[in-house]
Amino acid sequence: GQQVMQIPQYQHVQEGEDFTTYCNSSTTLSNIQWYKQRPGGHPVFLIQLVKSGEVKKQKRLTFQFGEAKKNSSLHITATQTTDVGTYFCAGFSSNDYKLSFGAGTTVTVRA
Amino acid sequence: NAGVMQNPRHLVRRRGQEARLRCSPMKGHSHVYWYRQLPEEGLKFMVYLQKENIIDESGMPKERFSAEFPKEGPSILRIQQVVRGDSAAYFCASSPGLELPDTQYFGPGTRLTVL
């Protein structure tokens, strides 16, 4: 079955620094979605990428979908304490309804 | 416009008891999904339902677990004879079902603790 892997599992960042988290799928995805989950909270939808090579920005967050539609990345610039949480990527295979989640990247920020 | 609602938010059960988790989808959404999240892990798909129909239950254990989404009322995830390994956060998501794939909107979750 489809597997989605994320690295790194943990990311400790100095406030103000940039970092990137990566998502890789064992199969081609029809689209990929990113979610953020704060400690004790629930996953909150951030963005969806559909097209090969697509890049989308949300303020300090940049999301990219690979050309082969098997990988994706999230880059955060000038990290702030509000960025703390776990970031999950989740992918759909073609015309499917089941989101396959990666294990997430848990981000902590040093002030 | 209320989001996805789940109750209870926290549920404590002793081994062997039953757990009932409820999910009310967003207004206008007819598709419901249940996921389980173990500590420090991602979410694992359990079951996908539409009104009065189970579309896919491939992620749900064959025994002790059942789900329904009746014509009226919330979707229910039922766990019979709970064991310690059932302790987890259970999230429900809903989508409008207008096209595949859909954006799924998550509820706050029910955190089940089995003593």
Q: Convert the pLDDT of each residue in A43-95 to its tens digit.
A: 999 999 999 999 999 999 999 999 999 999 999 999 999 999 999 999 887 66
Q: Do A42 and B103 touch (CB under 8 A)?
A: no
Picking from A92, A90, A91, A85, the residue whose alpha carbon sits closest to that of residue A108 is A85
Q: What integer pLDDT is reported at residue B100 of this predicted model? A: 64
Q: What integer pLDDT is reported at residue A62 of this predicted model? A: 98
Q: CA Rg, chain B, in Å?
A: 13
Query: Structure tokens of A25?
Result: 């799928």
Q: Do B103 and A48 touch (CB under 8 A)?
A: yes
Q: What integer pLDDT is reported at residue A95 of this predicted model? A: 60
Minimum CA–CA partner of B97 in chain A? A97
Q: Over 70: is that where the pLDDT of B1 sits?
A: no
Q: Which among A41, A98, A106 is the nearest to B48, CB-wise?
A: A98
Distance from CA of A32 to the nearest CA of B (A): 10
User: Given pLDDT bands bounded at 50, 70 and 90, which one contains residue A1?
Assistant: low
Distance CA B80, CA B62 (A): 12
Percent of chain B with pLDDT over 70: 97
Q: What integer pLDDT is reported at residue B39 of this predicted model? A: 81
Picking from A51, A4, A45, A53, the residue whose alpha carbon sits closest to that of residue A30 is A51
Mean residue pLDDT of chain A comes to 92
Q: Do B106 and A96 touch (CB under 8 A)?
A: no
Q: Over 60: is that where the pLDDT of B3 sits?
A: yes
Q: Over 80: is that where the pLDDT of B101 sits?
A: no
The pLDDT of B5-24, averaged and rounded, is: 97
Write out pLDDT tens, residues B38-59: 887 788 999 999 988 999 998 9
Q: What integer pLDDT is reported at residue A96 of this predicted model? A: 67
User: Given pLDDT bands bounded at 50, 70 and 90, which one contains residue A3?
Assistant: confident
Residue to test with chain A: of B104, B105, B113, most A Cβ within 10 A: B104
The pLDDT of B72-79, averaged and rounded, is: 96
Q: Do A98 and B104 touch (CB under 8 A)?
A: no
Contacts of residue B19, Cβ cutoff 8 Å, sequence gap at least 6 = B11, B13, B78, B79, B82, B86, B112, B114
Q: How far is CA B30 from the centre of its chain?
A: 14
Q: CA Rg, chain A, in Å?
A: 13
Amino acid letter for position B53: N
Distance CA A47, CA A33 (A): 6
Q: What integer pLDDT is reported at residue A6 of this predicted model? A: 95
- CA distances to A5, A18, A72, A108, B107 from A30, rounded to whole Å, are 16, 28, 12, 31, 24
Distance CA A38, CA A87 (A): 9
Distance CA B22, CA B5 (A): 8
Q: What integer pLDDT is reported at residue A106 of this predicted model? A: 94
Bridge partners (DSSP) of residue B32 are: B49, B94
Minimum CA–CA partner of B32 in chain A? A97
Query: Structure tokens of B17?
Result: 């008891």
Distance CA B89, CA B40 (A): 11
Distance from CA of B102 to the nearest CA of A (A): 7
